[in-house]
Amino acid sequence: QVQLVESGGGVVQPGRSLRLSCAASGFTFSSYGMYWVRQAPGKGLDWVALIWYDGSNKYYADSVKGRFTISRDNSKNTLYLQMNSLRVEDTAVYFCARKDTVMLSTGSYYHYYGMDVWGQGTTVTVSS
């Protein structure tokens, strides 16, 4: 079945770096855009980044622009989030999510902007 499994979270000091991974299975990973979304303790959902199915386009929330980098390896069915210059306010559960996409009768794909499948999340704690 369709599955997303995040890993790489942990406790890190402010200013340090961390790389999160999201292993995908059960679908054609290379045909789907992917998101990172985070949730600070006791708070709501907060979009972090989006990458196109082929990696050609990337978008970031203002709060992480210039510090975080989203990337993917379609040969490994894996999504990444490189987080540099971490701040206390980056403390959150980080979820990866699949972009809502439909395969057309022509065999091509139409991409919507929602998230249809979510991973279980990995916790990042930034603290001195």
- Binding interface with other proteins (CB under 8 A): 35, 37, 44-47, 50, 59-63, 95, 100, 112-121
Q: Which is nearer to other proteins, 16 or 58 (CB)?
A: 58
Comparing CA positions, the residue from 81, 93, 96, 67 lying closest to residue 19 is 81
Q: Which is nearer to other proteins, 113 or 128 (CB)?
A: 113
Residue 109 CB, nearest approach to other proteins (Å): 15
Q: Which is nearer to other proteins, 31 or 47 (CB)?
A: 47
At position 70, the amino acid (one-letter code) is: I
Q: What is the rounded distance in angstroms from the CA atom of residue 72 to the CA atom of residue 119? A: 16
Q: What is the rounded distance in angstroms from the CA atom of residue 19 to the CA atom of residue 7? A: 9
